[in-house]
A and B are shown apart, each in its own frame.
Chain A
Amino acid sequence: MSSPDSCVHCNLPIPPADLVVDQIDGKELHFCCHGCQGVYRIITGAGLESFYRNRSWDEQGVPTGAFEAEYDEASLAGHVIRRDATTADISLIIEGIRCASCVWLLEKLLVREAGVTAIRVNYGTHRAVIRFNPQETTPAKIFTSISRLGYLPHPFSPGAAQRAAAREQRSLLIRFGTAAFLSMQLMGFSFALYGGYFHGIDPQIRQLIQYFAAAVATPVVFYSGWPFLAGAWRSLKNRSASMDLLISLGVSTAYCYSIYAMFKGGEVYFDTAAMIITLILLGRLFESSARNRSISGIDKLLQLAPDSANRLNGDEVNTVASASLTPGDIILVRPGERIPVDCQILAGVTEVDESTITGEPMPVLREEGDKVSAGSLNLSTSIKLKVEKVAVESFIARMARLVEEAQNRKAPIQSMADRVATVFVPLVTSIAIGTWAFWWFSGASHAEALLNAVSVLIVACPCALGLATPTAVLAASGSAAGKGILFRGGDILELTSRVDLIAFDKTGTLTHGQPTVEQIIPASGQTETTLLELASRAESGSSHPLAMAVLARAKTAGIQPGPAGPVTTVPGRGLKMQCTDGEILVGSRAFLTESGVGIPTIDSGTRTEVHVSLDGVWQGLLLLHDPLRQAAQQTVRELKKLGLDMVLLTGDRPETAQQVSETLALPDYLANMSPADKTAWIETRQGDNHTVMMVGDGINDAPALSLADVGCAMAGGTDIALETSDLVLTRPNLESLHIAIFIARKAMQVIKQNLFWAFSYNLVTIPLAASGKLAPVWAAAAMAGSSILVVSNSLRLGRLVRRTFSVAKPPASD
């Protein structure tokens, strides 16, 4: 089930210093910490061992701080919705859910807690609603039980925007359901009427069925079709034509004419009106459910900053809500905790993991007087901080604002269908008016002139036109999903096909974002093995990314570190260990030189040096760097073939950026870019009429991702990057990027073909209708034929994608 040196619960490799051994049911089990041991005992104690068999975790470990989290009763109380004396609800987001088994485990275990009546965890959004009895338990107790299982709960109250989006989604579903139900009824009536048209029908019965048809069609037009009518009204007020206007025009003429014909004893077209609305609503429903997945973006960002902080009051430590901190307050942040608000360090030297903020994986040394940002993770020692900014002005909140601004600033794009409508609506209207004028002046009766004009409007009815885009979008998104690509909506597909400039973030996107040992240079008389053994012995207890890289290398080389001794960590420099063989020093060149170790000059390029010495004698060095993803080079080559321009935007040093862009043959690079620089750069490029795609993974990329025409994030990036992006690669595989662009371009081709066909249909039928020679039944048949053609042309897309990329490539697991 798990190898002997990885934790039974969280699957992480166990640093030998932390090994916890437990005997359960006569088996010896190894854990990485007492927290994991506790979870295992809880789970097996409840008889739910099948969790370990069924789970599929792509990611190991538990969220940072899960076992230690403390919850403050007062700050949670605001999130509780009271129903009556013995029932209350609390909504939360649970961090650390990776698979269906996690949801199963949480539901099973929590419902056994005293006082918890019901729990429902949403598989897609990781949100949960817990119903409990406030007299028997408290929210803080429930939160603590969740965190003891290795998950991290956050209270969550949906914002106004989210509630509105959920309401919107529901009302769309009801509108569609209603339209579908009524259209089905209507089809039955229409069938009878068509039969009657060919074989004859008693006029009395025909009129009766027409009344029923009108009765079911009316709600479809005015209730289900309301979004289109409202949209048409808006575009009329703005004096611009849109797809909504075209749809409304077609639907309302078909409907009004049918009502008129019903009383005059003519043929009715209620089915045309109802079917257009139903089919187009279906398309919108698919699009909106894809879009709604991205709504909680800004919300998640704010949750990175911890909800509570330890305020120092003299010598006394009080747990308070982060929001209540004011500038000048002194707080204490222990190792493993996140910094709640922007602060300055008063006392202590530590290493801070700012990867969520800058995207750079290497911890940064921070000492007295330095500023630290909210959301960064304290790694090595406890520090005392002076609060500089209140929570709402802290880095994370500023970043959330930047994302929001970027989203607002992004100009709404006019979709292809809308652009078509801009030409089509005035054209059709003027032809209809022209037809009426022609017949009127050539001496036809008033009724006949009007009838011919109306039939122009009916045959111009955008059935195929309305289906052209949604079906192609559906087929493209479907085949893209099979390749691990998620387009959030049809407009994204369209924008992706137009992209001509791609900006890449470096760390975590083109590279793995984790350093690995690239080269081992032992001093003369030493071997690689002895050097690695010494280094891994000293670093075995450290969670520093460099130490992890060294340990991983030692593990793959099959090296068992010797007996460890007491370790002293010097933040930012290295560590010192006293053991039976003497004093081991592992760290930077400066650290060893200061301690009097002589080190030869070595050209290490842009790589990080880790030197090792034993009793003052240099033993050698390890060279580490953040390796490029396997597929990076090939992807860049493929994208060049597609004629795209590319650039590297990174917050890293120019030397590293230059080296990466040279290896990948990227045309250009820009280094030392802050999040604001990145957005500014993208905005300038957009001003030069470029369609820009940004590929990134960190929180620092979030504003750029939302501003870019297409923001693309990869699985494995931070949640916030995934949430603010429009295009998500659901597998950590850069190669999908050129497949995404290929699919998008093909989809646009298909949409253009569809529109072309829909137009050709109109080109033939409109003149016929205008001359008054088109029998209604032929018009209906032609319309159905063109719709079928459009749909099957769209389905061709799926086959095309399968054929092009069917060569089974080995899963690029990088």
Chain B
Amino acid sequence: MIKSIVILIVLSLCIGTGAWLFFIWTVKRGDFDDVEGPKYRMLDDDDESSTQPGPSQGEKK
């Protein structure tokens, strides 16, 4: 009983941590710096290179 609870909790923590790391990565990548843009870019219908991410707007390391 205890064993399975521990396993399940640890598993859920691992999945959660994965999502959390993904979130940190997106913030560092600057995905939240321009929250206005994507709604327009989404409607931009031609299939040219605009999908590739540009240089980050924020700080330079």
Contact = CB atoms under 8 A, between A and B. Distances in A.
Question: Do A and B come from the same complex?
Answer: yes
A122 interface: yes
Nearest to A131: B55
Interface in B1-15: 1-2, 5-6, 9, 12-13
A185 B13 contact: yes
B19 A120 contact: no
Contact of B36 (A123, A166, A185): A123
A119 B13 CA distance: 39
A173 B52 CA distance: 24
Interface centre among B6, B27, B55 (most CB of A within 10 A): B55
A103 B16 contact: no
A184 B32 CA distance: 22
B22 to A, nearest CB: 10
Contacts of A235: none
A181 B23 contact: yes
Interface string A636-663: 0000000000000000000000000000
Contacts of B16: 181, 184-185
Interface stretch (A204-212, A236-244, A454-462, A752-760): A204-212
A127 interface: yes
A124 interface: yes
B36 A124 contact: yes
B55 A89 contact: yes
A261 interface: no
Contacts of B2: 204-205, 208
Contact of B27 (A127, A177, A204, A209): A177
Interface string B24-38: 100110001111110
Nearest to A100: B40
Contact of B54 (A124, A129, A174, A178): A129
B35 to A, nearest CB: 8
Contact of B37 (A103, A174, A178, A209): A103
A104 interface: yes
Contact of B60 (A81, A174, A209, A216): A81
Interface in A237-269: none
Interface in A166-217: 166-167, 170, 173-174, 177-178, 181, 184-185, 188, 204-205, 208-209, 212, 216
Nearest to A164: B59
A177 B24 CA distance: 8
Contacts of B49: 111
Interface of B: 1-2, 5-6, 9, 12-13, 16, 19-20, 23-24, 27-28, 32-37, 40, 44, 48-50, 52-60
10 contacts: A108-B48, A122-B34, A122-B36, A170-B58, A173-B27, A177-B20, A178-B20, A185-B16, A212-B9, A216-B13
Interface of A: 81, 89, 100, 103-104, 107-108, 111, 118-120, 122-125, 127, 129-131, 163, 166-167, 170, 173-174, 177-178, 181, 184-185, 188, 204-205, 208-209, 212, 216
